[in-house]
Structure 1
Amino acid sequence: MRQRFTPQAGVLALAISLGTVPMLAHAADVAVARTVVPLQQLPAEPAVAPVQRFIIKYKPGSAPARDRSRVQSSLGTAAAQSVGVHPSRAPLGLKALRRGATGAEIVAASRPLDNVEAQSVLRQLRQDPDVLYAQLDGFKHAFDLMPNDPQLPIYQWDLLNTVGGIHGPQAWDHSTGKGVVVAVLDSGSTPHVDLKDNLIPGYDFVSWYGQSPDQPDIAGDGDGRDPDATDTGDWTDASMPWCGGSADSSWHGTHVAGTVAAMTNNGLGVAGTAWGAKVQPVRVLGHCGGLTSDIADAIVWAAGGSIDGVPVNPTPADVINMSLGGRGACSQDPATQEAIDFAVSRGTTVVVAAGNNNADASQFSPASCDNVITVGATGVGGTIASYTNYGPRVDLAAPGGDPDSGAGISRGYVWSTGNDGATVAGRDIIVGMVGTSMASPHVAGIVALMQSAAVAAGKDALTPAKVRELLVESVRPFPVQPPANRSIGAGLADAGRAVQLALGNTLPEPPVPELQSGVLLQGLGGGQAQSLLYRVEVPAGTRSLNLRSLGGRGDVSLYAAPGAPPSVEDAAYRSRRAGTAEAIVVASPQPGTWYLRVVGEATFNGVSVLALAR
């Protein structure tokens, strides 16, 4: 059975052109570059790809484990005992292709199997006393709710000191991620003009490149594994019914890589989370996704392990990011868990996306694996994204974007490096995408900032367990707490606070969250006399500052002042009408930082706040 991740919505992406000279994008420059599918529409379930591969691990010390020549005999017995499920079909053969990174055998069937026949083969394999585990070699997929640095202050709310941002500037004062390698296991990467100098050689692990009427060409590049991790495009068409229909190439890996470490301070495009770090693209996804066995091998290789027929990675990764996954708990995916355990044992931190199904992350792999940092997604206002997976397996949340809650020029998307090619690579562009795929690389980048800061300060590199501990400790509270049945971790990822902890410093108080002009912060709630404080940056020349609350239920008042947080008693500006509809309008406000305090006159919930500086 193929493991397919079905997103909460289809590909969502906006794009702006990117030249080779500094470019300033305006609202008019933003265009829809791909089909936008409304979030409430779920794509139809695709046809299921025929099963043709298995992962089999023999017990240490058993005859097949000691002597690979015994493997084929074991497989022959299992194949023979599976005869009878479909008597009219050709005899079934099983052939060992190679031994994987964790010592498991990658096995191919002589013909495609439906689910009934595949499960019969698995039962026979698992009855062999020499077999430790046997599983289908299913597919995993990019979590594809899609997408100085002149665009940093315009589009990149996710990196800045906004309500929902990671507060990157506080971290960049101390670390840019220099000396750290982040492996991005994804669709590969294009040599984007705003990314290429931060790319180091990776590897292409997509092994399935054969093509026949019943066997898809996953690799799409005409060969198997090789040292070229370039994304050649993951487009699909009607000849691939198990892929969910026709779609243009996503260039997903390029976007994720740019979120980690797009080139910065180069007067071009966007900034990366850890722009001093290096990204190692590791291609594991092609047309229709990628095989579990290829992903497991890639995890081990990225961490410096040995793979048959593949040169050892000369630059082992300090951090691995996987913005991918498939249905099924990790307990049903021991090959992936073994690979993750190996990477962690080598000191590599593994960061993964929670998934985009609005479902419990415990039912997805690698999101539910042990020893990973699982990341949920929030929108511009720091509120839970409509699509994100949730539950106890999620450690913390980071910006994934959400058009439902976005406003202003960013439209609620996360903007990063991309490409405008429908199938093969075309022009370099900056693309807006949404999904936990976008949230995970923010955290991978923060881990790079933490490691670089610690080592530069003369400390030992942080262990993966210590990284997770500090990340969870450093989070900011959610501005609006997610529902109790949709927990997405301890809070919002905060790069500045995480780096301070990595340096061994006392954790500062959480900064006052910033309201972006024109971006509606939704879902506020609290009790009588509860106070929520925000700040608004007012540029010189602003003619009017408009501060409003609206919607929801209950009763709130607004208090505002420049330069320092206002109190109820001495606020320079206030609005105290009954209900939740309040407004403060200041003509020709003094430039600088203004503060807005929302106070509950009675219990309130579902209230929105908006700041407009014009």
Structure 2
Amino acid sequence: MTTHMHNTTRTVLACALGAALLAALSVSTSVSAAGTGVAPPMRKFTLPKPAAEASFDRFIVKTRDGIASRSASPSLDAVNAAIARAGVGGITLAANNGAVLKVERVRRMAVGADVFRFSRKLTRVEADAVLAQLRIDATVQYAQPDYRKQRLDFTPNDTRFNLQWDYTHPTTGIHAPTAWDIARGAGVVVAVLDTGYLDHSDLNANIVPGYDFIADPQVAGDGDGRDADAHDPGDWIGGDPSSFHGTHVAGTVAAVGNNALGIAGVAFNARVQPVRVLGHGGGYTSDIADAITWASGGTVAGVPANATPAEVLNLSLGGYGMCSEDPATQAAVDGALSRGVTVVVAAGNSNLDAANHSPASCKGVITVGATGIDGARSYYSNFGPTVAISAPGGNASSGSDPDDRWIWSLGNSGMQAPDPSPGGDRLIGMIGTSMASPHVAGIVALMQSAAVGAGRSPLTPMQVKQVLQMTATPFTVVPPFNQSQGPGIANAAAAVLASTLPIPADSGTVIANRIATATSGAAGDAKLFKIVVPAGKASVNLRTFGGTGNVSLYVARDRVPTTASFDRSSVKPGNSETVLIANPPAGTYYLLVVGEVAFGNVSVMGVY
């Protein structure tokens, strides 16, 4: 069970998943979308926008894999040849004291490309000539200037953007303005599985048709069962007010940005698909599972096909009980993942291990914990290895300014049924992991838009999770080990930039003979390790042990195993897995540790 507080001192008890469904702890106050009332100072962390670079002395060149060369540096050969063909190398300039152009290889990048520094800056014309020659070279995969980038930080003109510390705070926000210089979510649909949506002047333009999946008339409260109208009629119980929770969540994902009104969504050029699954008293697993399937492009009997399937699903909902005991939800999630759809889920607000909540503990989802403006774990947030990443969710006990304690998004002035828009439009401050999750869903939309915009394929759900975790901002206040919430706070700017670049494959963590290495992860996470075994050993014992949860072990020599392709495996309940190989051939042995459920502090060891 969870608590919604919509407007100060007003409380609603909500949500049942079977018996109890956790949606969000939300405490709120409201202001008008137009910006009436006293607002805190605008927070802008903006550097001047530089002019386009006119000259370059550093370039990045990547040769194709497998290129044979008589020299030790095929890329240097390609650069020198391109300079000669472009007629640049022999040019001397008085401004450069007549110096002939020279080239120095600086270093090899992690993506396999080489960085070169020229002895003088090339004009734009000269640089274009050299790059043109490099790009027609059959040995070159790509070539580009080593651009000098700065923070540009697009600041939208939304009238209450000053409330959105969660986007702009330099150490505890998600760095949205910097991300917006690369992508704003265009072309991506995010499905919000929640209480439905309200007509709101700061959201209407970004809505695509959704669906109402609530079949039970008492839960639905609208008298018409499942249908194509996903509007939220209110989720009040007794005399308590409605939360209009889905509209708040949808606003964080994609409220219309730069429209001189209200606030901006994280991905304000993306589209929101409202999918109604929560009503009076919450919602049933059967409805939620069907909604996951439909929103991700699957087929649901009796429901028209989704004309605009989502690339990202946000589920700011959940209930107590492990996902291993909720196979219907896991099956729906598996289907969404198989269609390439990323599923983002709130961790829950019980201050408990998220491994005991569903869908937070389902395999393959990205489970999000909450932080406050102080950069610490919010006191209510669920935690543990299941939590993949954290994001601002607000915290009523942190922040020197009262407005800094909330996550501000869209709401309504109605007490039970909504008041008509635009008169009923409001901005509402709430707190909860329900507020953290749509920050991440919005970031995923930015990532996918950026990847496609850079000419790359959309990221897989596994790659999305990898990028979010490797680009996270460290916590200002690190949670204790037994209350972990992933590697840090989601960083939109870093994640979006990384999505435009090749994503390096996991090469594995090296483990040494007889030394245990600890690892933790969520259900479905795969952690790769490797150990080099010399020739002449009588045996090698590869094992996992200790910690919490349940892992399986897959092993292969001189190649990375998968759960479907491996040399040997150990799959038993618990964490004590062993692969013993007699007279092992010399080589690098890769160990893939896979979480059957969330696992924590599991030791990985190789002994030969």
- Bin the TM-score by the shorter chain: 0.5 to 0.7
Q: Which residue of 1 aligns with 2:476?
A: 479
Q: Which residue of 2 aligns with 1:323?
A: 316
1:402 aligned residue (365, 378, 395): 395
Output the amino acid matched with 1:386.
Answer: Y
Please tell me whether residue 452 in structure 1 is matched to residue 467 in structure 2: no
Q: Which residue of 1 aligns with 2:20?
A: 4
CA distance in 2, matches of 1:13, 1:469: 33
CA distance in 2, matches of 1:12, 1:303: 31
Measured at CA, do residues 159 and 358 of structure 1 come closer, stay the same or move farther in structure 2, by a change above 3 Å? same
- SS class of match (2:262): coil
Aligned residues of 2:22 and 2:348 also touching (Cα < 8 A) = no
Aligned residues of 1:304 and 1:312 also touching (Cα < 8 A) = yes
Please tell me whether residue 420 in structure 1 is matched to residue 399 in structure 2: no
CA distance in 1, matches of 2:37, 2:255: 18
Please tell me whether residue 359 in structure 1 is matched to residue 317 in structure 2: no
**How do 1:164-563 residues align onto structure 2 when only pairs under 5 Å count?**
164-209=172-217, 217-237=218-238, 246-426=239-419, 427-504=424-501
Using the size of structure 2 for normalisation, the TM-score is 0.59
CA distance in 1, matches of 2:281, 2:406: 24
CA distance in 1, matches of 2:466, 2:391: 16
Output the amino acid matched with 1:220.
Answer: G
User: Where does the alignment leave 5 or more consecutive residues of structure 2 unmatched?
Assistant: 1-16, 42-156, 505-608
The structure with more radius of gyration: 2
Per-residue CA distance 1:295-349 (angstroms, 9 max, x = gap) = 0000000011111110000000000000000110000100000000000000100
Aligned residues of 1:188 and 1:281 also touching (Cα < 8 A) = yes
Output the amino acid matched with 1:169.
Answer: P
Using the TM superposition, give the Cα deviation of residue 160 of structure 1 relative to its aligned residue in structure 2, in angstroms: 1.1
Measured at CA, do residues 268 and 308 of structure 1 come closer, stay the same or move farther in structure 2, by a change above 3 Å? same
Output the amino acid matched with 2:30.
Answer: A
Using the TM superposition, give the Cα deviation of residue 484 of structure 1 relative to its aligned residue in structure 2, in angstroms: 1.3
Using the TM superposition, give the Cα deviation of residue 505 of structure 1 relative to its aligned residue in structure 2, in angstroms: 7.2
Aligned residues of 1:328 and 1:365 also touching (Cα < 8 A) = yes
Q: Which residue of 2 aligns with 1:80?
A: none
CA distance in 2, matches of 1:258, 1:8: 15
Using the TM superposition, give the Cα deviation of residue 151 of structure 1 relative to its aligned residue in structure 2, in angstroms: 1.1
- SS class of match (2:196): coil
Aligned residues of 2:190 and 2:311 also touching (Cα < 8 A) = yes
Using the TM superposition, give the Cα deviation of residue 409 of structure 1 relative to its aligned residue in structure 2, in angstroms: 4.8
Per-residue CA distance 1:115-174 (angstroms, 9 max, x = gap) = xxxxxxxxxxxxxxxxxxxxxxxxxxxxxxxxx31211x210001143211000110000
Count of equivalent residues: 369
Aligned residues of 1:155 and 1:409 also touching (Cα < 8 A) = no
**How do 1:40-51 residues align onto structure 2 when only pairs under 5 Å count?**
none
CA distance in 2, matches of 1:455, 1:370: 26
CA distance in 2, matches of 1:249, 1:150: 26
- SS class of match (2:219): coil
Measured at CA, do residues 279 and 206 of structure 1 come closer, stay the same or move farther in structure 2, by a change above 3 Å? same
Q: Which residue of 1 aligns with 2:45?
A: none
CA distance in 1, matches of 2:246, 2:352: 24
Q: % of aligned pairs identical?
A: 55
Measured at CA, do residues 342 and 272 of structure 1 come closer, stay the same or move farther in structure 2, by a change above 3 Å? same
CA distance in 2, matches of 1:165, 1:492: 8
Using the TM superposition, give the Cα deviation of residue 387 of structure 1 relative to its aligned residue in structure 2, in angstroms: 0.3
Measured at CA, do residues 375 and 28 of structure 1 come closer, stay the same or move farther in structure 2, by a change above 3 Å? closer
Q: Please, what is the CA RMSD of the aligned residues?
A: 1.8
Aligned residues of 2:254 and 2:268 also touching (Cα < 8 A) = yes
Aligned residues of 2:270 and 2:445 also touching (Cα < 8 A) = yes
CA distance in 1, matches of 2:22, 2:343: 23
Aligned residues of 1:8 and 1:358 also touching (Cα < 8 A) = no
Using the size of structure 1 for normalisation, the TM-score is 0.59
Measured at CA, do residues 389 and 202 of structure 1 come closer, stay the same or move farther in structure 2, by a change above 3 Å? same
Runs of at least 4 residues off by over 2 Å: 5-9
Q: Which residue of 2 aligns with 1:52?
A: none
2:38 aligned residue (23, 26, 32): 26
Using the TM superposition, give the Cα deviation of residue 443 of structure 1 relative to its aligned residue in structure 2, in angstroms: 0.2
Q: Which residue of 2 aligns with 1:50?
A: none
Measured at CA, do residues 278 and 7 of structure 1 come closer, stay the same or move farther in structure 2, by a change above 3 Å? closer
Measured at CA, do residues 2 and 310 of structure 1 come closer, stay the same or move farther in structure 2, by a change above 3 Å? closer
- SS class of match (2:403): coil
